[in-house]
């Protein structure tokens, strides 16, 4: 998958939808499985092979700080169906997070058959950098993920939603104004609708520019880069107090999505700990 294209929708969208999976947990009432969010696959080259990780938002795996003992990834299969693949967390399968507890990213190692399952991965070539050279407010963004009102009966059916960059700043942004002390994090703000199921989705910059071909004809050229991981949306809180005894809090989506930057995902993936882990893995698999 190349990151540059003359035709963004035709070339990229089908592939990006394939790097996404839907995450579930068992219904505690014993009535099947409950969708909890979106994940996506990242592959890091090591020697002659790759090490693959499933990336999502930390709060998807640890709602309110309480970690699920296991999750299920619903994987589309090459035979046209899908199945749930269980991941049990423990010493052999660790959830890895950023040392900054306010950053909403989590990942774990994930090795799935590419002959059985119909998926693709994002490689480091697509990672945006901290300096974001050439990307400014007003540039296009899009993401693919789970839409709770329709997820697909037989297979995952990830939606693709589009928007604009609203704010790129080095200043940390409040993530929970009600917390004491106030929690802050480096985040991007995008004018892009998000809902609960989209948490953990991969979000992309689509930087467009006009170019000329050899005949002098103008065409639109798109460069696609992973912007980061969808955290969720900002809520406007409206408090109504009809009398002295009743207080009603209404939440309304403010239309701004919060995205954890890709460079912070890269900090996890290329920490000393994970680099050494990959080296051990590569030796065991004969990749070096």
Residue 165 in this model has a pLDDT that exceeds 80? yes
Q: Exposure of 184 by Cβ count < 10 A (0-12 exposed, 13-18 middle, 19+ buried)?
A: middle
Q: For residues 88 and 69, what is the distance between their CA atoms, to the nearest angstrom? A: 6
CA dihedral over 209, 232, 173, 16, signed as positive or negative: negative
**Partners of 210 in the β-ladder:** 220
Q: Say which residue, 255 or 192, is predicted with more confidence.
A: 192
Q: For residues 264 and 267, what is the distance between their CA atoms, to the nearest angstrom? A: 5
Which residues lie closer than 8 Å to 99 by C-beta, 6 or more apart? none
Residue 252 in this model has a pLDDT that exceeds 70? no
Residue 242 in this model has a pLDDT that exceeds 80? no
Q: Which CATH class is domain 4-285?
A: mainly beta
Least confident stretch, 30-34, 57-61, 191-195:
191-195
Q: What is the mean pLDDT of residues 211-226?
A: 77
Q: For residues 23 and 85, what is the distance between their CA atoms, to the nearest angstrom? A: 10
Cβ-contact 231, 258 below 8 angstroms: yes
User: Residue 179 has what pLDDT?
Assistant: 60
What predicted TM-score, i.e. pTM, was given to this entire model? 0.88
Cβ-contact 58, 103 below 8 angstroms: yes
User: Residue 249 has what pLDDT?
Assistant: 42
User: Residue 213 has what pLDDT?
Assistant: 74
Each domain of the chain, given as residue ranges in start order, spans 4-285
């Amino acid at each position: 998958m190349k990151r540059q294209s003359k035709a963004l929708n035709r070339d990229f969208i089908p592939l990006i939808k394939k790097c996404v999976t839907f995450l579930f947990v068992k219904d505690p009432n014993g009535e099947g499985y409950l969708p909890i969010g979106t994940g996506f696959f990242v592959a890091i080259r090591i020697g002659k092979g790759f090490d693959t990780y499933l990336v999502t938002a930390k709060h998807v795996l640890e709602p309110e700080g309480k970690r699920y003992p296991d999750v299920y990834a619903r994987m589309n299969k090459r035979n046209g169906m899908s199945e749930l693949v269980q991941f049990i967390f423990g010493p052999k399968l660790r959830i890895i997070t950023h040392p900054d507890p306010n950053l909403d990213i989590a990942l774990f190692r994930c090795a799935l058959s590419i002959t059985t399952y119909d998926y693709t991965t994002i490689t480091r070539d697509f990672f945006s950098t901290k300096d974001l050279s050439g990307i400014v407010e007003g540039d296009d963004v899009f993401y693919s993920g789970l839409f709770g009102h329709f997820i697909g009966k037989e297979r995952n059916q990830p939606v693709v939603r589009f928007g604009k960059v609203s704010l790129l700043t080095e200043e940390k942004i409040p993530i929970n104004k009600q917390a004491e002390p106030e929690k802050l994090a480096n985040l991007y703000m995008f004018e892009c609708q998000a809902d609960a199921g989209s948490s953990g989705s991969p979000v992309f910059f689509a930087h467009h520019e006009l170019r000329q071909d050899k005949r002098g004809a103008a065409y639109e050229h798109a460069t696609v880069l992973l912007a980061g991981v969808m955290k969720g949306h900002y809520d406007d809180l409206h408090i109504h107090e009809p009398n002295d005894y009743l207080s009603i809090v209404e939440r309304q989506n403010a239309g701004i999505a919060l995205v954890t930057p890709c460079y912070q995902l890269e900090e996890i993936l290329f920490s000393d700990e994970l680099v050494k882990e990959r080296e051990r893995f590569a030796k065991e698999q004969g990749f070096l």
